[in-house]
Chain A
Amino acid sequence: MSLGTGLLGVALLYLVVIVFVLCLVGTGFLLLPSTLRLLRRYANFHRGQVGRLTERPLQTTYRDQAPHAPPRSRPSLRDPAVRKDLVWLPAHAIPGSALCLLTLSVCGRVANWLTTPLWWKLAPGERDAILALTVDSWGKAVAALFVGLVGSVIAMRVTWLLARAHGEASRWLLTARPQVRLDQRVRELAASRAEALDAHAAELRRIERDLHDGAQAGIVAVSLRLGMIKRALAQRPEQVPEMVEATQQLTEQALKSLRNLVRGIYPPVLADRGLVDAVRTLAALSEVPVRIDADGTTDRAPAAVETAAYFVVSEALANVAKHSGAQAALVWLRITEKAISIRIEDDGRGGASADAGGGILGLKRRVAAFDGTTELVSPHGGPTVLKVEIPCGS
């Protein structure tokens, strides 16, 4: 197994070298991204192996796969993690393969010694050798068995130690340096901060616009009607009741628009009853039947985080009702000290995508602004699963 992957490593090493040489004449650049992806799969496989062997999982984040990587990012040689893979490949492939060959030959030799008495009995004509002695008697054949036993214990121990050493060396080479991870973290936080500022500005614009077109315009319209009523009182009093009725309707419209705006800023039910009850209210209002799984979740998260989570559920359920054609949906919700985790599933036709813009993109931005993560799985034909995790506080 190790030998197999070791030899695969040698083959990959040849490929990488060839591609780099081709880069010198230009054509290699076309093959570079796919070669680096192949290398990454190979390295990731070993990360899994090494993680299992040393019982500590390895973590490396490639720049193009980071949560805030721009869309359609490709592996780049500028990425420290990619560079480390390139150093690791020869270091792993050449000594690794040699080590495997050595281990195999030692195992073969030990097996040979262990079975020496058997060979002596079955084919006395064959003269085997243990260490410097030629086996030419039962005594030496039995001695070979003991040497074989001792040898196998030593070989097992040494193999295990070598595997550990190889594992540790690989761990060192396969993990991007903590400083690199810190760089990445800084970039992620800078990106999420920019998202937060954008989201905040967009929110302010929306509120200003809603107020301008809704309540403010409504009150001006009411005032205008009142002015007309005042004039009508003197000139055509018979029209007044009808005008008062129309004015009252305008007042109600303005109030409704204000109510909707307030609900859009910070839903009162969220303030009064908490996220779980607020989500239950959303579910009750949904056209598609929604089941809530919030087992024992009674904790409260910071208001801003709860609000973001509430709008995630609200937007997701609106999407389910609008686009999925689902018969049922499930909202799974957990609040811990660290994060709010949400999973929204439906049995609809799938095919939802954040690229198409609209709701999911907005939702993703909202979550990113809180340094949270969004994961959408929605194959054509369904089902759709949306997972969101928003960290609470710092």
Chain B
Amino acid sequence: MRILIAEDNVLLRDGLELLLTGEGHDVCATVDNADDLPGALLGHRPDVAVVDVRLPPDFRDGGLRAVVEVRKSLPDLPVLVLSQYVERAYASELLAQSASGVGYLLKDRVGRTDEFLEALQRVAEGGTVMDPEVISQLMIPAVGDDPLASLTRREREVLALMAQGHNNSTIAETLFIVESSVNKHIGNIFAKLGMPTPESGHRRVLAVLAYLRA
């Protein structure tokens, strides 16, 4: 895969480059600030971009804003956004246009190399990857008539894994249950959340994202 890295911290940029080239990927460009990012994304059209939310010159959410801007003209450009903190607002902004080919992970996850590479692959293929932290933030039982509150513990776990873009067999594996149980849980989840029965893996992620944006 041709991969673009936007990260201002030298240690992480070099580390990521080393990891990805070591895995046989082609790091086509590295960017260390938000100003150069849109040009680089449009110019290189990478198979996937790994972007740090916080970039110079203003050290706020310049990376994220550059990604949102570029995806207005190139909605299919796959981007995996990395952040030191989970911010629900960031996730919502990122997903506002399109949920395909979008990932949002805590930086910590890059240490779990296998999972990180897998997530990168999923995003590159147009899937959606959400950090478990983002999901658990959303799963915090809210007061009032929050439909999420009506889910059982197991259903929440399944929804969290769904939101991370996992398919039913992986969910079953992760939770040590049979796939038919997963199907049953998913059916319950959508019934409780008032969603139509999903036909594809992608649509069910969209269902979760609807809650992300809420």
Contacts and interface: CB of A to CB of B under 8 A. Distances in A.
B111 A217 contact: no
B111 A223 contact: yes
B18 interface: yes
A299 B107 CA distance: 48
Most chain B CB atoms below 10 A, which of A224, A227, A228, A230: A224
Which range holds the interface residue count of chain B?
A: 10 to 19
Contact of B12 (A220, A227, A253): A220
A218 B11 contact: yes
B211 interface: no
Contact of B11 (A217, A227, A231): A217
Nearest to A212: B84
Nearest to B110: A224
Nearest to A214: B9
A217 B113 contact: no
Contacts of A226: 111
Contacts of B113: 224, 227-228, 230-231
A228 B11 contact: no
Interface residues of A, number: 19
A213 to B, nearest CB: 6
A220 B59 contact: no
Contact of A221 (B12, B54, B114): B12
B23 to A, nearest CB: 8
A37 interface: no
Interface in B31-45: none
A216 interface: yes
Interface string B164-196: 000000000000000000000000000000000
B22 A228 contact: yes
Interface string A18-62: 000000000000000000000000000000000000000000000
Contacts of B19: 224, 227-228
A185 B18 CA distance: 61
B59 A221 contact: no
A225 interface: yes
A209 interface: yes
A250 interface: yes
A209 B111 contact: no
Contact of B15 (A216, A224, A253): A224
Nearest to B107: A220
Given A217-B9, A224-B15, A224-B19, A212 B110 contact: no
A227 B84 CA distance: 18
Given A212-B54, A216-B84, A227 B110 contact: yes
Contacts of A220: 12, 84, 107-108, 110-111
A89 to B, nearest CB: 55
Contacts of A221: 9, 11-12, 15
Nearest to A223: B111
A90 to B, nearest CB: 59
B112 interface: yes
Nearest to A243: B18
A227 B116 contact: yes
Given A212-B54, A212-B84, A250-B11, A224 B114 contact: no
B207 interface: no
Interface in B97-144: 107-108, 110-114, 116
B206 interface: no
B54 to A, nearest CB: 7
B86 interface: no
A217 B59 contact: no
B16 interface: yes
Per CB-CB distance, the 7 closest pairs between chain A and chain B, nearest first, are A223-B111, A227-B113, A221-B11, A224-B15, A217-B9, A224-B110, A220-B107
22 contacts: A213-B9, A216-B84, A217-B9, A217-B11, A217-B12, A217-B84, A220-B84, A220-B108, A220-B111, A221-B9, A221-B15, A223-B108, A223-B110, A224-B12, A224-B15, A227-B112, A227-B116, A228-B22, A228-B113, A230-B113, A231-B113, A253-B11
Given A217-B12, A220-B12, 19 more contacts: A209-B59, A216-B84, A217-B11, A220-B107, A220-B108, A220-B111, A221-B9, A221-B15, A223-B110, A224-B15, A224-B110, A226-B111, A227-B19, A227-B113, A227-B114, A228-B19, A230-B113, A231-B113, A231-B114
